[in-house]
A and B are shown apart, each in its own frame.
Chain A
């Protein structure tokens, strides 16, 4: 108890002062959390304060954020060739930067990252993670040893205290092998949390389903995957006549793509486990978010600064307006290849300036991710977001997820072509009617085009094995 208290104090002090966090101490805190749960069955009452921080005075929070911002910018100006030039070109002195003046620093784009990758390095690289490239050219991000030990410890601590990972769990990891940072972190989290982990990857869905079926020990209790891959698993499980009684899953975590309520509901009915949607991005790790019951995206403000910037002006979006998430992970959480004001192009709507009433009301929130900003369709009737379309298509009766389609705007009107194989018995008129009911004016056609000619999903990164093939 006493040593656990000392460790918590040391970690809190490092976080407040912005000094490197003692990784071993953070790892031992996970052990403390496991011992606490083993003894008491749950963490103590003030666990929320530990996980999300005490409800501090707004002025104090603003001061801490400004200090973290200056600390991060100062380090970047010293160590990153890209940012030394970037700040100088913007005429910004990192030592005087505040939340109010940081808008003078132009956002960092994915193009910057791809073109000048080496100029972002600030520390000794250990592990490179490449983005999937489903939205363009993949970017490569390097992490240090410190980062690759710290993040899993912080995640494991949070997950253990929330009861999201237990020592009795078997985690099944169905994420692309390109996401090395995520894979490495997930393995470390499982190790620290005392759980087992099966790194399956994005193998053909029938192989994954074979591993997932079962109510005994070899079957997983937790699954981590993409919504599109989950959709394929749901379809396959239904075709095999499988239901909740055939699985022992207790939680499914998805992210990196739009998850529709229809698909989440279908997965929950089929696998008998709640589906949790999360937000994270290779480039801005460890800044991450969770979706509440009211479908807000809540991003913890302690680890980094998240702005919602207007798509046209780059200024902070007005309440209720669309914007792109611009994220700045703080030092000491990000060390090797940090990014400052990175434009994720993830589209959200700023929430109205009213108190939140959801279960995560004390964490800043935006709307759910609406898609990538570059995929917004401008029609006469207004902007149409990828989420708007996916939610309607996913909810079609008999839909075969993931829904393969392509869109364009002709004469100011949305034109949508849906793969006939996904449409089931829904006619183009039925689909257009459903889109209209959701406020989207569109002409709809069915197409026999192949998957690669239509909207791409992460499940398309499937990794084949020799299993089941003729020798």
Chain B
């Protein structure tokens, strides 16, 4: 790996990881998502999410190439429609914007396929779609009452998952190769000439989720801790490790799963933050309105 590639990789990864984390917190501060009458996100939801994390790659790999973009596109469209309802209240306008965004993604991917000089627009549009999705999903969970302890355990489980599927059963690389260049590929990054950097959507979701929930749970100190962990263990270590390994062994690893660094760090970060006291609840962050008379009756 060249020095330019290494620097590009590190800076883009750092920018995207911190960007999605800060965007998640900004969304949390500015937008209130509706919630059902009964139900708060809890550890069971993380188990279910982990189930999806395990199952989806197999589904993606099993799907014929032609079916993959429609499936991913529909999933993204549904997710964006739910997460950005309070931002664009008109359902018609919201669906119009989502359709335009996804159409642009599809068109850019098709164009880039035939002419690699169009790779930059594709990556910009696809990254925007994926980051919007990660920010929305993180907020659905955070504003749904998810606790930092649940996210920390989820991150730890993801670390184990990533390690297993990157080494014992190397599915991560296969998945990475399978979706690269497709419209709605679940990854964000940038490619300029020979320089490239890509992060998986799962990584982005974890960074946005951890940062947003840490902010919800412990305010500014929680956010500072989370951003530090995302920067160091989510961006710097995973991007500097390949070049370091190459320098030491002469062999450049094909893939370095970021979660094997971030998961344990996130868990320890939670243990440190926990010493500050109990996590804030949504009721502390956003005090509820009085119960209407029609409900209390």
Q: Are B35 and A44 in contact (CB under 8 A)?
A: yes
Interface of B is mostly: loop
User: Which one of A16-24, A45-53, A392-400, A454-462 is at the B interface?
Assistant: A45-53
> Is there a chain B Cβ closer than 8 Å to A290's Cβ?
yes
Q: Are A359 and B39 in contact (CB under 8 A)?
A: no
Q: CB-nearest residue of chain A relative to B40?
A: A39
Q: Are B295 and A47 in contact (CB under 8 A)?
A: yes
Chain B proximity of A216: nearest CB distance (Å):
25
The residue in B41, B288, B295 that gathers the most chain A C-beta atoms within 10 A of its C-beta is B295
Mask: chain A, 90-117; 1 = CB below 8 Å from B; 0 = not: 0000000000000000000000000000
* Known contacts A36-B38, A290-B297; A1 and B282 CB within 8 A of each other: no
A46–B292 alpha-carbon span in the complex (Å): 12
Chain B proximity of A191: nearest CB distance (Å):
19
Q: CB-nearest residue of chain B relative to A160?
A: B38
Q: Are A50 and B37 in contact (CB under 8 A)?
A: yes
> Is there a chain A Cβ closer than 8 Å to B277's Cβ?
no
A8–B296 alpha-carbon span in the complex (Å): 20
> Is there a chain A Cβ closer than 8 Å to B283's Cβ?
yes
Q: Are A359 and B294 in contact (CB under 8 A)?
A: yes
Chain A proximity of B148: nearest CB distance (Å):
13
Chain A proximity of B247: nearest CB distance (Å):
46
Q: CB-nearest residue of chain A relative to B294?
A: A359
Q: Are A50 and B282 in contact (CB under 8 A)?
A: no
Interface of A is mostly: helix
Q: Which residues of B contact A36 (CB under 8 A)?
A: 37-40, 145
Q: CB-nearest residue of chain B relative to A298?
A: B297
Q: Are A5 and B39 in contact (CB under 8 A)?
A: yes
The interface size bin for chain A is: 35 or more
Q: CB-nearest residue of chain B relative to A360?
A: B297
Q: Which residues of B contact A35 (CB under 8 A)?
A: 40, 42, 145
Q: Are A44 and B294 in contact (CB under 8 A)?
A: no
Q: Are A44 and B34 in contact (CB under 8 A)?
A: yes
> Is there a chain B Cβ closer than 8 Å to A136's Cβ?
no
Among A40, A45, A164, the residue within 8 A (CB) of B145 is A40
Q: CB-nearest residue of chain B relative to A29?
A: B38
The residue in B38, B48, B145, B297 that gathers the most chain A C-beta atoms within 10 A of its C-beta is B38
> Is there a chain B Cβ closer than 8 Å to A33's Cβ?
yes
Q: Are B44 and A2 in contact (CB under 8 A)?
A: yes
A244–B40 alpha-carbon span in the complex (Å): 37
> Is there a chain B Cβ closer than 8 Å to A252's Cβ?
no
Chain A proximity of B287: nearest CB distance (Å):
6
Chain B proximity of A65: nearest CB distance (Å):
23
Q: Which residues of A contact B292 (CB under 8 A)?
A: 48, 359
A7–B92 alpha-carbon span in the complex (Å): 32
A32–B40 alpha-carbon span in the complex (Å): 7
> Is there a chain A Cβ closer than 8 Å to B202's Cβ?
no
Q: Would you list which residues of chain B between 251 and 297 have a CB under 8 Å from chain A?
A: 281-283, 287-289, 291-297
Q: Are B38 and A51 in contact (CB under 8 A)?
A: no
Q: Which residues of B contact A42 (CB under 8 A)?
A: 283, 288-289, 291
Q: Would you list which residues of chain B between 137 and 183 have a CB under 8 Å from chain A?
A: 144-145
> Is there a chain A Cβ closer than 8 Å to B250's Cβ?
no
Q: Which residues of B contact A46 (CB under 8 A)?
A: 36-37
A360–B43 alpha-carbon span in the complex (Å): 37
> Is there a chain B Cβ closer than 8 Å to A446's Cβ?
no
Chain A proximity of B34: nearest CB distance (Å):
6
Q: Which residues of B contact A440 (CB under 8 A)?
A: none
Q: Would you list which residues of chain B between 38 and 70 have a CB under 8 Å from chain A?
A: 38-42, 44-45, 48
The residue in A1, A33, A35 that gathers the most chain B C-beta atoms within 10 A of its C-beta is A1
Chain A proximity of B218: nearest CB distance (Å):
16
Q: CB-nearest residue of chain B relative to A30?
A: B38
Q: Which residues of B contact A298 (CB under 8 A)?
A: 297
Q: Are A39 and B283 in contact (CB under 8 A)?
A: yes
Mask: chain A, 3-21; 1 = CB below 8 Å from B; 0 = not: 1110010000000000000
Q: Are A40 and B283 in contact (CB under 8 A)?
A: yes
Chain B proximity of A252: nearest CB distance (Å):
15
> Is there a chain B Cβ closer than 8 Å to A162's Cβ?
yes
Lowest 5 A-B CB distances belong to which pairs?
Answer: A41-B283, A4-B39, A42-B288, A41-B288, A39-B145
Query: Residues of B with Cβ closer than 8 Å to A?
Result: 34-42, 44-45, 48, 144-145, 281-283, 287-289, 291-297
- 10 inter-chain pairs at a CB distance below 8 angstroms, sorted by A residue, are A1-B41, A2-B44, A4-B38, A32-B40, A33-B38, A36-B38, A44-B36, A45-B35, A50-B38, A359-B293
Q: Apart from A32-B38, A163-B296, list 12 A-B contacts with CB within 8 A.
A: A2-B48, A3-B44, A4-B39, A36-B39, A36-B40, A39-B281, A42-B288, A47-B37, A47-B38, A161-B295, A359-B293, A360-B294
